[in-house]
């Protein structure tokens, strides 16, 4: 069981829900006037007052009490078959709690400004935390078994089935605390870290930005930074800076508090640097992460600096303003896709690669598994939430019809398909670490981009599409490693004391100038743009996983294009179906790839450099 209540994934990019809690209200019309679909949560529970929800919580509490009474202090006495049966029982209780928590999290994500939903979400968090606290002893006692004792029990098929889960559990063996301390940390989480995260989410959801006399949500304001009209982009950038600037004191306090909270826990758990716990959870060695970060930072001049200098020339500017970073090219059409066009483009690309991949993806559209339109109060960005193996994933988007939104659909559908294929592994072994979780999503983006580019014959539109892909890759690789550097420096400096708003702003500007390069001019208000990044708050040091996934997929896709691996599609689907049972070395071995080799990261970055080379030739 996790040491804290299960949470939604951090968003990838980025009228009220009904009292019953099933589907959101009729969705607003898209660009073409079509009705955009919302999700229906009744596959989890029929509503907040569903008797099944209350019954599951009561049954889970009874089961957790019984489990603790039978096994507390006795795990070491269980033989192999008995231990396997105990793990299966633990998994069953966990799945019920994951189902309940998933429903509450999805309800809250659909409208973070509704106080009734907020109270419901908080109540479920507290109830699930109370129940799961009774189970904490179990994994701690398993980790107290010595290697020989555990190996002896692994001879029984009942326990051997859970071998990958036990392997991953043992990673934290040297960083666990006595059961009473673990339980205290676990129970206090809802009034500690989780409460600060909720404060951040709801503050951001309530913010409105005055743009030319119109009140905009954060999703709408950020979308306007991609407008074709430079004056409108500037207005959005200035308004976002003003709105965030008015809340910087609060966001700085949240950041300092959570960084100190992490520092304290890292100290007690004997983690020797701020990224250590995330690297362990990702099952990736420190040296591999350091190689990735180093390779990306060394590439700044040949990737981001070079591309944005080219973009400035296209705009006829000596330097770009920060609000030009995601601007369409000057001669680009303001193409807007309908939802149907986006769906067909993504499924078509998936199907051309593997009919089975498209068949699984089709289920998300045949059923109400995706919440598509932006709404006031809805969380910004996008995510795929796996819920539980006995149900199915749900996707959240904020679809505005841009090409980037089509890529976001391809990305999140990749996550969803991955989660469906891995579900047979069960609640304890279906999830993958963040680094590998990004594989299917980024691969889905690449499939969709390549299909759309190959179908385009107009040179101008091809250049526009290629530039858009380069910018997405820069956002996924360079920008996320810059985020990683910001986090790393903030957490290291926080060990010496709280950081002022001015110091947080200064660190942000230093990493932005380093990563984006001399082609940019940054107005003063840009210094507070760190405040809206949810990754820093939800999941510290999540962000390097995006760069890891993008470079990994670039190398993987190069193997696919080269045709050097027989049965690539089948091997790829087997990799996804493995869920969390295999590590990155084992998953990549069938493709002849090794992430511990620095050349692996250079190969991935080489794809990005090649796209920029092609754009320079077009210019």
446-461 per-position pLDDT tens digit: 999 999 999 999 888 8
Q: What is the pLDDT of residue 34?
A: 81
Q: What is the pLDDT of residue 434?
A: 84
Check residue 498 and report its DSSP letter.
P
575 pLDDT higher than 90: yes
Residue 467 near residue 311, CB atoms below 8 Å: yes
Q: Where are the domains of the chain?
A: 41-196, 271-348+431-619
Residue with structure tokens 């591999």? Answer: 288
Beta-carbon contacts of 41 under 8 Å, excluding residues fewer than 6 positions away, are: 21, 22, 23, 103, 106, 107, 394
Joined tokens for residue 164: 């990958």
Q: What is the pLDDT of residue 334?
A: 73
Q: What is the pLDDT of residue 28?
A: 52
Average of per-residue pLDDT values in the chain: 92
- Name the nearest CA neighbour of 483 among 614, 297, 610: 297
Which pLDDT band, with edges at 50, 70 and 90, does 30 fall under?
A: low
Ramachandran category for residue 387: left, alpha or beta (phi over 0 → left; psi -120 to 50 → alpha): left
Beta-carbon contacts of 76 under 8 Å, excluding residues fewer than 6 positions away, are: 141, 144, 145, 149
259-310 per-position pLDDT tens digit: 999 999 999 999 999 999 999 999 999 999 999 999 999 999 999 999 999 9
Mean pLDDT to the nearest integer, 539-565: 92
Architecture of the domain delimited by 41-196 = Up-down Bundle (1.20)
CA atoms of 447 and 428, how far apart (whole Å): 30
Q: What is the pLDDT of residue 597?
A: 83
Q: What is the pLDDT of residue 32?
A: 58
Q: Over pLDDT 90: what percentage of the chain?
A: 86
For 18-60, give the DSSP string. Answer: PTT-SSPSSPPB-TTSPBPP---GGGT-S-TT-HHHHHHHHHH
Alpha-carbon Rg for the chain, nearest whole angstrom, is: 24
For 552-580, give the DSSP string. Answer: HHHHHHHHHHHT-STTHHHHHHHHHHTTT
Beta-bridge mates of residue 371: 396
Which pLDDT band, with edges at 50, 70 and 90, does 374 fall under?
A: very high
222-253 per-position pLDDT tens digit: 999 999 999 999 999 999 999 999 999 999 99
68-126 per-position pLDDT tens digit: 999 999 999 999 999 999 999 999 999 999 999 999 999 999 999 999 999 999 999 99
Architecture of the domain delimited by 271-348+431-619 = Orthogonal Bundle (1.10)
Residue with structure tokens 């993958």? Answer: 432
Return phi, psi of residue 237, to 5°.
-60, -45
301-358 per-position pLDDT tens digit: 999 999 999 999 999 999 999 999 999 998 888 788 999 999 999 999 999 999 999 9
CA atoms of 388 and 98, how far apart (whole Å): 6
589-601 per-position pLDDT tens digit: 999 998 888 888 8
CA atoms of 106 and 180, how far apart (whole Å): 31
More confident residue, 527 or 30: 527
Check residue 303 and report its DSSP letter.
I
Number of other CB atoms surrounding residue 181 within 10 Å: 11
15 pLDDT higher than 70: no
For 373-385, give the DSSP string. Answer: S--TTSPSS-EEE
4 pLDDT higher than 80: no
Which pLDDT band, with edges at 50, 70 and 90, does 31 fall under?
A: low
136-160 per-position pLDDT tens digit: 999 999 999 999 999 999 999 999 9
CA atoms of 555 and 570, how far apart (whole Å): 18
7 pLDDT higher than 80: no
307-317 per-position pLDDT tens digit: 999 999 999 99
Q: Enter the pTM of the model.
A: 0.86
Q: Over pLDDT 70: what percentage of the chain?
A: 95
Beta-bridge mates of residue 548: none
Mean pLDDT to the nearest integer, 493-508: 98
């Amino acid at each position: 069981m996790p040491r804290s209540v299960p949470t939604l994934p951090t968003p990838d990019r980025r009228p009220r829900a009904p009292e019953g809690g099933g589907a959101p209200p009729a969705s607003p019309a898209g660009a073409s006037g079509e009705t955009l679909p919302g999700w229906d949560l009744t596959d989890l529970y029929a509503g907040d007052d569903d008797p099944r929800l209350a019954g599951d919580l009561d049954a889970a509490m009874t089961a957790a009490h019984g489990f603790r009474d039978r096994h507390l202090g006795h795990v070491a006495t269980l033989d192999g078959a008995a231990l396997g049966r105990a793990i299966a029982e633990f998994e069953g209780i966990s799945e019920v709690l994951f189902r309940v928590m998933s429903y509450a999290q999805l309800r809250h994500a659909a409208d973070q400004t509704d106080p009734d939903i907020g109270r419901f979400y908080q109540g479920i968090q507290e109830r699930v935390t109370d129940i799961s606290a009774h189970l904490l002893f179990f994994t701690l006692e398993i980790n107290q078994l010595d290697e020989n004792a555990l190996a002896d029990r692994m001879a029984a098929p009942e326990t051997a089935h859970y071998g990958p889960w036990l392997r991953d559990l043992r990673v934290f063996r040297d960083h666990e605390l006595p059961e009473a301390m673990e339980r205290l940390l676990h129970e206090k989480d809802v009034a500690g870290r989780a409460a600060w995260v909720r404060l951040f989410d709801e503050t951001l959801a309530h913010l409105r930005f005055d743009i030319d006399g119109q009140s905009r949500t954060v999703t709408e304001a950020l979308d306007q930074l991609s407008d074709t009209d430079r004056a409108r982009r500037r207005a959005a950038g200035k308004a976002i800076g003003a709105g965030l600037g008015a809340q910087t004191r609060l966001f700085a306090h949240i950041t300092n508090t959570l960084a100190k909270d992490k520092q304290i826990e890292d100290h007690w758990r004997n983690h020797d640097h701020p990224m250590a716990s995330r690297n362990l959870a990702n099952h990736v060695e420190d040296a591999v992460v350091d190689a990735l970060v180093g390779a990306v930072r060394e590439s700044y001049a040949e990737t981001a600096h070079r591309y944005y200098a080219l973009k400035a020339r296209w705009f006829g500017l000596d330097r770009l303003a920060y609000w030009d970073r995601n601007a369409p090219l000057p001669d680009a059409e303001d193409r807007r896709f309908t939802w149907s066009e986006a769906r067909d483009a993504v499924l078509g690309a998936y199907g051309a690669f593997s009919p089975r991949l498209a068949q699984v993806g089709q289920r998300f559209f045949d059923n109400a598994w995706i919440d598509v339109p932006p709404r006031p109060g809805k969380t910004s960005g996008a995510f795929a939430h796996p819920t539980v193996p006995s149900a199915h994933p749900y996707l959240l988007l904020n679809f505005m019809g841009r090409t980037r939104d089509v890529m976001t659909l391809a990305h999140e559908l990749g996550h969803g398909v991955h989660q469906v294929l891995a579900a047979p592994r069960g609640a304890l072994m279906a999830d993958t670490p963040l680094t590998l979780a990004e594989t299917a999503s980024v691969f889905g983006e690449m499939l969709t981009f390549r299909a759309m580019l190959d179908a385009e014959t107009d040179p101008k539109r091809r250049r526009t599409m290629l530039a858009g892909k380069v910018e997405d890759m820069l956002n996924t690789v360079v920008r996320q490693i810059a985020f990683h550097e910001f986090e790393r420096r903030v957490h290291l400096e926080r060990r010496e004391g709280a950081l002022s708003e001015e110091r947080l702003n200064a660190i942000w500007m230093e990493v932005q100038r380093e990563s984006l390069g001399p082609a940019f001019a940054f107005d003063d208000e840009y210094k507070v743009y760190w405040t809206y990044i949810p990754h820093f708050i939800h999941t510290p040091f999540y962000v390097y996983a995006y760069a890891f996934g993008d470079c990994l997929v670039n190398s993987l896709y190069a193997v696919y294009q080269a045709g050097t691996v027989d049965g690539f599609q089948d091997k790829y689907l087997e990799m996804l179906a493995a869920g969390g049972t295999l590590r990155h070395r084992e998953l990549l071995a069938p493709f002849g790839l090794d992430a511990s080799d620095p050349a692996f990261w250079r190969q991935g970055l080489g794809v990005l450099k090649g796209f920029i080379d092609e754009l320079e030739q077009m210019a």
